[in-house]
Amino acid sequence: MQKIITYTNKILAILIIGVMGLIGMRMLNPEFLSGMSKFNEPPAIIATFLLLAVLYPGMLQRMGMPARLLKYPVIWRRTLGITMYLAALVHFLFLIDYLPWFSDGLIKNLDALTASGICTIVLLLPVLLTSNNASVRFLGKRWKLIQRTTYLILPLITVHLYKTGETPLMILYVITCILIITSYFMKVIKKGTSPVVTAVVASAVIAFALGFAYLLLQLLFKNAHDEHQKELLQDVRGQNKELKRVNEELKEKIRHLEE
């Protein structure tokens, strides 16, 4: 199985290099592969779920799930991570000419949606480059530190999902953030770490929970406000139609009087 995984990872690496080349060509020539934005959603969804597949085995292990039950997810985790990055790049490739900040090969401005997406791809690049056995041997203990930068992108992806209106996936990612912090909290308790560290981790869990509740309330109120605005807009449009009809009738009557 290890040979299959190794060959799969090599093929994925070649595909990633190819997609990076295509992105570079589109940056230089926006007309190249133009009109591909309609294909951007499937790779985005694939990348979103693959990242969860990469994160959950480690989290479940810290929570006490037996390693034998997570054998295959752990074995394939590196491959899933590389595939996730490939899907994210394809999503970006297809979306370039659709983004409002891209024109004539130049970046004009960044909104929260675009910035969170680009920062995610950039922050994951060191993780991708060190996803090999040679890096594990060369970096030693520092390798895990680099790989754990994956956690930094979770808030970015949450913002990205929020801005795209993917509410269920956003909630799933916020819950994942809380579970990951909780898993480290459980690990700290098992090791009998000092009360100070325990308190810090607990505070982080509580902060995430409160942030999630605040974000959810904001979203609910925003949706309610948007629905109210839509109703008002429909009423205004109905009134405008009625005024136009009355106006047309008055014009018709004036025309008859003039005749």
Q: Which helix (H) or strand (E) holds 107?
A: strand 106-107
- Decide if pLDDT at 224 tops 70: no
Give the number of domains in the chain.
2
Report yes or no on 180 lying in a domain.
Answer: no
Q: pLDDT tens across 182-205, in order?
A: 887 777 777 665 666 656 665 666
162 and 210 together in one domain = no
150 and 218 together in one domain = no
26 and 92 together in one domain = yes
145 and 233 together in one domain = no
- Please report the pLDDT score of residue 84 as a whole number: 92
67 and 103 together in one domain = yes
Report yes or no on 176 lying in a domain.
Answer: no
Q: pLDDT tens across 9-48, in order?
A: 888 889 989 988 888 887 777 677 777 777 778 888 899 9
100 and 136 together in one domain = yes
SS3 104: coil
44 and 119 together in one domain = yes
Report yes or no on 210 lying in a domain.
Answer: yes
Domain span holding position 232:
193-259
Report yes or no on 182 lying in a domain.
Answer: no
30 and 67 together in one domain = yes
Sequence-ordered alpha helix ranges (H) in the chain: 2-28, 41-62, 71-75, 77-95, 112-129, 133-139, 142-147, 153-164, 167-191, 195-258
135 and 254 together in one domain = no
163 falls in which pLDDT band (50, 70, 90)? confident
Q: pLDDT tens across 43-71, in order?
A: 888 999 999 999 888 888 888 888 888 88
Report yes or no on 242 lying in a domain.
Answer: yes
219 and 142 together in one domain = no
Report yes or no on 174 lying in a domain.
Answer: no
- Please report the pLDDT score of residue 83 as a whole number: 92
The angle at the Cα of 77, spanning 73 to 82, to the nearest 5 degrees, equals 145
